Structures are given as structure tokens and as C-alpha cells.
Amino acid sequence: MFTNLKIDEIAPNPDQPRKFFDEARHEELAASIKENGLLQPVVVRPVEGEKAPYMLIAGERRWRACKAAGLEAVPAKVIEGTTDEEAYVLSIAENVNRQDMTIMEEAGAYADLKAAGWAPLKIAKQFGKTETHITWRLGLLTLRPEVAEMVEKGQIKNNLAWHIAQLNPANQMVAAMRYVRGDFDSEAEAQHFANGLKAMERQTSLTNETPPNAEEEEKRKKAKAKAKDGLGKAEEVLLPLLEELAEKKPEDLAAILGEDLARHMRVVARLHAKVQLVRNLLSKASGIQQAMAADFNKKAVEVQRESAAKKAEAAKTASAKPAAKPASGTRAAAKKTAPKPAPRKPAARSTATASKAPEKKAPAKAAEAATDK
């Protein structure tokens, strides 16, 4: 059913999958509506117990622009008997293929449906996507908020965002910040770096790896020498040859190669494919090498911090010890001096003896005096 509704009779859906509305486009649409009116009706459903009798299913951007343009009423399509889930699905369907819907908004919308019990395959069929597309989008929800914001702003491209989302939160920031500040020559190089970090996460520690035995070490040396020799030959022989051929004119090559031209074209095509393959492998190797360096540096910083913390704790303990010693010494001294009053008892006993001694000697003195008389 189509009808005209007052703008104040319509309320936006709080579960709207789109959260970001481009201000410039909003102003352009408002100006167009002010000039030409609203050409495409909004879609609403009746709701009970709310301030506004209708809630938007689709067309919030148009509804906002109509308010900005000063319209009092808008054409609307009213859908009766729609459940919350059905309304949400319709809202996603209206927005999911719009260019201005961000990838994180799309991922969040699919996540809401998954939380409601929808399998990725069902979501894919509902919106005309592949199951891989849905799973890939859902994988972005592991991004930490700072990195997700970079993706929302377009600082990090969608494909790279998925590779970064596979990392732990700390490494997500490492890969994202290095890409944003321009440390990589291409997005592919940044992806290889992220994959290298993922490989490092699978290992317990670079420093805890078991050292290679003599046989493995010899194999590594031979493989390294062979690779260096092969790349050296390509640089010394193949590169000068290709540079020489590149300087010739097409008509000269047609005359020089004659009937062998088609065969040489096939050879060069195979060579080009192999060069592309090797270039991709070397790029991946470079990403792993950079990731190893980043992982090693991170562990080195952790070791330094741990060492500094231990030194600070030791210094704190050492500074606390002198203050504690006098207290224990004082208590020990107090314990030692406490029994000292005991020796006073013998002194008391000697005094008593001294006072009794004259009494015992008195008869002797009296006898002497009697004798003298």
C-alpha cells in the first residue's frame, strides 16, 4: 500500500545496518529532493507502542534528506505484518549492494543474521552472494576497532583487510600501521607481510627453534648456493639477452627469426609466466623475511622491558633492605638487654650476707674484750 505520511509519523530503525551516511551525498540528495521532490518512496511498517506509528524498513537516507529539505510529508510504501527479522532482512537487501554501504557495515549485518541462526549459505542465497563472500565478510569482524576504522575510512583496502584480520590484535596494528604509513610498494607486498606475520604466530618463538643438525645445515648451504647461482646466471646471461632483443625493431626480428618466430614467442611466453611466478614467490619470501625481523624486534623489546622491570624491582628491594635492618637490630638488642636485670639478684644476696657477717663475728669480739679485761 502506498500513501503519504508525515515525516514525524516515521521513525528510523535502531537496528539499521547502515551506520555511516556521507555528508556530501546527503546534502546533494537534499538539494535534489528540494528541487524535484522524492522520486522513490520510503518503505515502512506499522509499529505499536512507539512514539511514531511507523518505522523505516528501507530509505533512511532519503527520509533524512527529506527532513533536511523541509518536506512535511513523504510518499511511503507500507508493509503490514512484517516481523523484526523480516524487516531487517529487507533493510539489508536494500543496502547491501549500494556503493556507499561500507564493508564493515555489510559484515555487521551478516553477523546479526548469523546470530539469529542464519547459516552463511542461507545468507548468501538471500542476497545473491556466494558463500565465500559471506564468510570472507564475516572474517573481518575479528579486526580490532582501530584497524576497522581504517578500513571504514578507506585507508586499508578490503582485500588487505581480510589478510590483516587473520592476525592477532598486536600484529594487526603492526601490519595496518606499516601499510598506512607507506612502508610497502604495493598492496600485494603488504599482504605477503601479513601472511609472514601469520606464519610467525604459528611458531612458538624464533629463538626457541631447534638448531639444524649438520646434515640439515649442509642441505641449506647447498640450496642457498644453487639458488644464488641460478639467479646469478639469469642476471648475467638472460637479462642482457632480453635487453638486446628489446632494442631491435619488430621488422628486424621478423626477418632474423623467420619461421622460428612463433616458437620463440611460445618460449618467451613460458619464460614470462615463470618470471611472474618467481617474482611472486620472491615477494612472499620478502614478506616473510620482514615479518621475521618485526617478530624478532618485538621479542627483543619484550626482553628489554622484562629486564628493565627486573632491574627496577631489584633496585626497589635493595633500597628497602637498609631501612628494615635497623628495626630488626633494635628488636634483637632489646631482646638481649631484657635479661640484664637478673644479675642484680646476686648483688642483693651479697649485701644480705655482708649485713649478717658482723652479727656472727660479734661474739668473738666480745670474747676478746673479756680476755683483755
Hey, which residues are catalytic here?
60
Neighbours of 78 (CB within 10 A): 17
| Closest C-alpha to 164, from 128, 191, 201, 127 | 191
CA distance 159 to 188: 10
Question: What radius of gyration, in Å, describes the C-alpha atoms of the chain?
Answer: 44
Residue type, 98: R
Query: Could you tell me which of 17, 48, 9, 231 has the C-alpha nearest to residue 123?
Result: 17
Q: At what angle do helices 120-127 and 84-95 cross, to 10 degrees?
A: 60
Cα–Cα distance list, 221 to 216, 233, 284, 292 (Å):
9, 18, 21, 20
Place of cell 507500507: 78
H-state helical runs in 46-186:
60-69, 84-95, 103-115, 120-127, 131-139, 145-152, 158-165, 169-180
**Residue with grid cell 640439515, as numbered in its chain:** 216
Query: Parallel, antiparallel, or unpaired for β 73-78 and 42-46?
Result: parallel
Contacts of range 55-59, beta carbons closer than 8 Å, 24 or more positions apart = 55/10, 55/11, 55/12, 55/13, 55/87, 56/10, 56/11, 56/12, 56/13, 56/16, 56/91, 57/13, 57/82, 57/87, 57/90, 57/91, 57/94, 58/90, 58/91, 58/93, 58/94, 58/95, 59/94
**Region of residue 249 (phi > 0: left; psi between -120 and 50: alpha; otherwise: beta):** beta
